[in-house]
Amino acid sequence: MTDEAESPYLTLFEDSPVSLWEEDFSQLKTYLDTLKASGVSDFRTYFCEDLDEVLKCAELVQVVRVNRATLQLQGVEDENLLLGSLRNILVEDAYDLFRNEIIALAKGENKFKQVVELETVTGDSRHILLQLSVPEESRESLNRVIVSMMDITESTRARKAFERERMAFQMIAETALEPTYTQATSNRIISGLVEILGYDLGTLRLYDEGSQVLRLHAVVGIPEGARSEVPLDDQDYLAAYVARTKSPIFESDIESGSIPEPRRAVIEGMGIQSLIFWPLLGANEELLGVLNIAARKKKSLTDQDRNLFQTMAGMLSTVLARYLAQDALRTSEERFRLLAENAKDVIWTIDLDFKFTYISPACEEVLGYSPEELMGEDVGSLMPQETVEIAEAVLAEALALEDEVGKDGYEAPPLELELLRRDGTRIWAEISRAFLRDNKDKPVGILGIARDITERKKTERKLEEALATAAFYNDLMAHDISNLQQGIMSSMELMLESGKLHEQLETLAKSALAQTQRGAKLVTNVKKLAALGEKSELAPIDPHVALTEAIEMVHDSYPSLNIKINTNFSMDQYSVLADEFLVDVFYNLLHNSVRMDTNDVVVIDVVTEDSEGDRFLTIKVQDRGPGISDTLKKAILARFGDREKRGTGLGLTLVRRIMHRYGGRIWVEDRVQGDYRQGTSMVMMLPKTSA
């Protein structure tokens, strides 16, 4: 690249809000070529078996340039700390990531993307969206490779923590609405908590006051099972200790904790490194049981985790008290009210006229009103008019679904709404809710939890702005590259049409033109993949119309070939739920079939059949090319799968992304079952709909 061309590139490079690294992989490319020449073909196995080889490759990669955003992300001021051999700054957490980069490049891939959690040079842990790209002019030597890193740490952590808490609270709240409590209920609770909170095993023991024992009511993650009964005076069991003292155990690291022997040896023998035991107490501090979850790795347990677990345990205690002591229902309700009044989220109930029948004291901090001021008031007084209309529409939809599918057929998703504070400012709240029912299971009101997510929405907005900036740069570069390629193709076509090239130069010119056209198609597919990330409404589409357009495109792409495409369906025969990208699905599958078929006449069959109770339409694109061996079938649609025999590019990745967008499926079969050499059948299932 000339100095004149380099200048705007450097400006974009330095000013990019995304961390950018320019790296030289040319020595690594030479080494990989040496390995290939020595007979290495399975690079994944080769590099997974020998970490020293991975580190050797890191020595061969040179960091040439970094931008200001990279210095900020890494927490350093001097760029020289990052330049030079990649081995000098490659932390242990990044070994697997770098191994995947090597494998991708060894396979001839020019792009790579992965979300990882990495340590920066200063030791901070960050969630990073890493993308590697090899510019076209560097693909032979790999002397210039661009790596971008987008820091998505805060949004990732906030989203995970918020979702974890919401799911846990919702699970226990839904349990409270069930008419009975059984052992299956306990199993569902403990399994849900273990999964939601990211632990490995857990137990729930309920206290039998008559026999003074803790009885096992639910267990998960312990293959050999757990002791069915633990006497309250057992000095070895932690559950008995917690039950006697009514005090929790909160250990993030067993090795440095205070767990006494001999129980410590048993726990370490199970591979447990972190654990929580929490007493379940009734409204009057009476013992109901003991909840326990544990992990086989160290967990960083903070005060926020303790408060979360205390709230969940308190809510579960209230539920248990209600079911296990029906004669103490009033006491149980007081316990629930106590929990609600100490929660930071606003817990509320309204009737079907949108009038408050209860609201917890947290409303004063969140909304600026006291509970007394809001009792009996219309919930619409806390909403802008557009929010009122949304809430009314959601209630109408829920009641309609209630009539249509019953109380078990509809699960209300979380709702994000804007609310008005007393001072007139607006906040964002996530609303989780469920119907309150009478003794005939008819809805009579709504129980809900409102959580202030204003800060999270601000974080999401910043992330959207960053993504929009990245998309702008992607579109800008794709546009410029497309213009350059168009100019090259026009020049090459004029040279070929002139008839003034001798045979050898004409062959080279044709090859160059084909490669440029291939590059133009790659840019087009990249832009389409980016467009697939945007929201779009699906609509009824006639697949025959899309197929017809794709067939015309294939004929235009191969004007000199004798191509015969047969179909067994016609226009207006079927309707599927799709969009304009359905043409690209057909085109890419037909294009691949034509490209791989070396017969004088290329014959392709496109056949349909109904499937899964007529809910889906199955369409098979069957060719008579060389076929795909069984070992490649599973990987053929993978983004970084083996493309040596099926070509390079993004065509099949685009197809897979589009099918996922439609809620459909796609896979590979032999055209003639059991003999892949007779050709390939690409099978896709599309959701059918009424026209």
140 with 162, same domain: the answer is no
Q: What total of structural domains would you count in the chain?
A: 5
- CATH, residue 187: 3.30.450.40
147 with 158, same domain: the answer is no
Provide the pairing of β-strand 346-351 with 287-295. Answer: unpaired
| CA diameter of the chain | 104
Check whether 624 has a pLDDT greater than 80: yes
Q: Which residues pair with 608 in a beta bridge?
A: 619
Across the beta sheet with 415-420, what order do the strands follow?
Answer: 356-359, 346-351, 443-452, 426-437, 415-420
- What percent of the chain is predicted at pLDDT more than 90? 30
338 with 269, same domain: the answer is yes
User: pLDDT (tens digit, 9 = 90+) per residue, 170-180?
Assistant: 777 777 677 77
353 with 438, same domain: the answer is yes
How would residue 127 be classed by pLDDT, with cut points 50, 70 and 90?
confident
- CATH, residue 354: 3.30.450.20
- CATH, residue 586: 3.30.565.10
User: pLDDT (tens digit, 9 = 90+) per residue, 543-553?
Assistant: 999 999 889 88
Mean pLDDT across the stretch 95-110?
91
Domain boundary among 511, 534, 557: 534
Task: List, as one string, the DSSP characters of 580-602.
Answer: TTHHHHHHHHHHHHHHH--SSEE
Check whether 680 has a pLDDT greater than 90: yes
- State residue 483's pLDDT score: 63
Provide the pairing of β-strand 62-66 with 84-85. Answer: antiparallel
352 with 331, same domain: the answer is no
Find how far residue 242's CA is from the centre of its chain.
38
Cβ 359 vs Cβ 371: under 8 Å: yes
Mean pLDDT across the stretch 191-219?
88
Lowest mean pLDDT among 106-110, 182-186, 504-508: 504-508
Which domain covers residue 594, as residue numbers?
A: 536-687
| Rounded CA separation 419/284 (Å) | 36
User: pLDDT (tens digit, 9 = 90+) per residue, 422-473?
Assistant: 999 999 999 888 888 888 888 889 888 888 998 888 888 887 777 667 666 6
Cβ 339 vs Cβ 312: under 8 Å: no
- State residue 170's pLDDT score: 79
Task: Count CA within 13 A, CB hemisphere, residue 346.
Answer: 26
Task: Count CA within 13 A, CB hemisphere, residue 689.
Answer: 16
565 with 610, same domain: the answer is yes
Domain boundary among 131, 151, 171: 151
- State residue 639's pLDDT score: 41
- State residue 194's pLDDT score: 85
Cβ 438 vs Cβ 464: under 8 Å: no
Tell me the whole-structure pTM to 2 decimals. 0.34
- State residue 647's pLDDT score: 42
- State residue 640's pLDDT score: 34
Which amino acid is it at 601?
Answer: V
Domain boundary among 484, 506, 534: 534
- State residue 242's pLDDT score: 92
119 with 218, same domain: the answer is no
Task: Count CA within 13 A, CB hemisphere, residue 219.
Answer: 11
- Residue 41 tokens read as 């073909």
Residue whose tokens read 């390079």: 648
365 with 466, same domain: the answer is no
Which amino acid is it at 598?
Answer: T
90 with 119, same domain: the answer is yes
**Distance between first and last Cα of the chain:** 54
- State residue 154's pLDDT score: 75
- Positive or negative: CA dihedral 637, 641, 647, 648: positive
User: Helices (DSSP H) in 75-207: which residue ranges?
Assistant: 95-106, 153-176, 183-197
Mean pLDDT across the stretch 100-121?
86
101 with 200, same domain: the answer is no
- State residue 212's pLDDT score: 94
| Rounded CA separation 336/325 (Å) | 14
Collapse the DSSP code of 683 into the 3-class scheme (helix H, G, I; strand E, B; otherwise coil) and give the result.
strand
249 with 128, same domain: the answer is no
Q: Which residues pair with 204 in a beta bridge?
A: 218, 291
596 with 530, same domain: the answer is no
